[in-house]
Amino acid sequence: MITKDLGKRIRSLRNKTGLSQEKFALRIEMDRTYFASVESGRRNISILNIKKIADGLGISLSELFTGL
Amino acid sequence: MITKDLGKRIRSLRNKTGLSQEKFALRIEMDRTYFASVESGRRNISILNIKKIADGLGISLSELFTGL
């Protein structure tokens, strides 16, 4: 399931930044509980929010989806 | 704007398949008018629908987002 795979990928990349879910969500101005549910693969996230996360991670969308 | 850029990219790749909007939408079981609005960049499309389009194009999500 792509939502699960994407959530895992985001969690892995966010962990590499050294930021907690809460701090990362704050940085990208996304609701903390929404962001947590994205990492858990429970959201059919839209492109605007995916882009916001990729920007926060400092990577391209293509990089974000690498391997998925 | 990512929705515009993604729409243009999808249109370009869909044109390469030789299929019309209508035929491509039918192939991936997506509403034709919804698909047309995605290509026009007027939709904040979700990951499940992006995946459906990538699958219909026969490419990975990473490839779909290349250059965006």
Give Cβ neighbours of residue B30 (< 8 Å, ≥ 6 apart). Answer: B49, B52, B53
Report chain B's mean pLDDT, rounded to a whole number: 98
Query: In the structure, what pLDDT confidence band is assigned to residue B19 with cuts at 50, 70 and 90?
Result: very high
Looking at this predicted complex, what is its ipTM?
0.94
- pLDDT score at A23: 98
- The answer to whether B44 and A46 have CB atoms below 8 angstroms apart is yes
Q: Can you read off the two tokens belonging to residue B63? A: 């490839």
- Cβ neighbours of B3 in A, within 8 Å: 47-48
Q: How many CA atoms lie within 13 A of B44 on its CB side?
A: 8
- Which of A2, A6, A47 lies closest to B2 in CB terms? A47
pTM over 0.90: yes
- pLDDT score at A6: 98
- pLDDT score at A1: 92
| Interface residues on A facing B, Cβ-Cβ cutoff 8 A | 2-3, 6, 44-48, 50-51, 60-68
> B22 CA to chain A: closest CA distance, Å?
23
Helix (H) or strand (E) holding A57: helix A47-57
- Which of A3, A60, A62 lies closest to B47 in CB terms? A3
Ranges of residues in chain A with a pLDDT under 50 are: none
Query: In the structure, what pLDDT confidence band is assigned to residue B30 with cuts at 50, 70 and 90?
Result: very high
- For residues B45-59, give the mean pLDDT: 98
- Looking at chain B, the whole-number percentage of residues with pLDDT higher than 90 is 100
